[in-house]
Amino acid sequence: MRPLRLVPAGTSINFLKMRPIALVLSALLVLGSVGAFAVMGLNFGIDFRGGILIEVRSEQPAELGEMRADLNGLGLGEISLQSFGQPTDVLIRIQRQDGDEAEQIVAIEAVQATLGDAYEYRRIEFVGPTVGRELIEAGTLAVLLAMAGILAYISFRFEWQFGVCAVAALLHDVISTVGLFALIQHEFNLATVAALLTIAGYSINDTVVVFDRVRENLRRYKRSPIVEILNRSLNETLSRTLMTSVTTLLALAALYTFGGAIIRDFAFALIWGVVIGTYSSIFVAVPLLLALNLRARGRGAKADAAGVDLAKGEEKADGHAG
């Protein structure tokens, strides 16, 4: 039985020719993400902001308008209600009450007394502001330490150019994911932080596979232009890259569709991460190797210059042909 291939054998796509367009696209994506974060900020969940979270279920479809009117009369401050999953499921968020834990318990009891026995209380959580700040710091530190560890490992396992390019691609993926959440204002919580770390792991795994083929081809084709070697490596791993991405997206799409509202944002972040991670492995990480003057051991600078001139010549020839 022949193995399934999404890309025909012998495919030869000149990925490096598209690097100027990819560079501009990636720069706009990163700058737009930073701008969205600076202007709109993140919609932090209760994990980071602090407050009360109550999940209830009713026997009949919940009347959000009636519930909101009843709860707003309690004088507990900002209250938001969200229907999720089934029409009978409601998520109630209440701002943190002034005072200690006893005040939060009083607020929870007031909500329960107002809603009555018509609802099943499936989850009740409270997060204080101190814990929220600590979680923000811990989440940020976790992402930064993951980046530092990846940089150290890739630099040791390959060469320093590979490590720098891998971290640049990871930063591209993480920043764009944060920017997307700032733009669409989906809730940013601990599950999203876990998704960011998962995206970093997925992306670096894909990048390392391509880098390993680049290193192998650098040793095998020492006299070939560097552009040709990079393009060859990308084409040889393209089928594996797309197959992994497509199968992962199928599982995530099912998780997003049928997994319920609790993990929907997590699945959404991963879907975006797989797409942008696949893009960055091909159009960010490998083209940056060319910018950092990567060359095979034992080859001279003339061969590398010839590779760059070859790519420029192909671009000019295509321009005249057009």
Rounded Cα gap, residues 125 and 15, in angstroms: 50
Q: Which two tokens stand for residue 251?
A: 């599982």
Which domains, from first to last, does the chain contain? 15-44+132-321 (1.20.1640.10), 51-127 (3.30.70.3400)
Query: Which residue intervals of the chain are DSSP H helices?
Result: 19-40, 46-49, 64-72, 101-115, 129-157, 160-184, 190-220, 226-258, 264-280, 286-291, 301-321
Q: What is the pLDDT of residues 264-278, one digit of tens each?
A: 888 999 999 999 999
257: which residues sit within 8 A by CB, 6+ positions away?
none
Largest Cα span, the chain? 80
* pLDDT for res 5: 63
Alpha-carbon distance of 68 to 269, in angstroms, equals: 30
Whole-number pLDDT of residue 320: 47
Of residues 282, 270, 195, the one with CA closest to residue 242: 282
Residue-wise pLDDT for 92-113, tens only, equals: 888 777 777 788 888 888 888 8
pTM beyond 0.85: no
- Burial bucket for residue 139 (CB in 10 Å: 0-12, 13-18, 19+): buried
Distance of alpha carbon 56 from alpha carbon 168, whole angstroms: 44
Phi, psi angle pair for 88, to nearest 5°: -90, -10
What is the pLDDT confidence band of residue 222, given thresholds at 50, 70 and 90?
confident
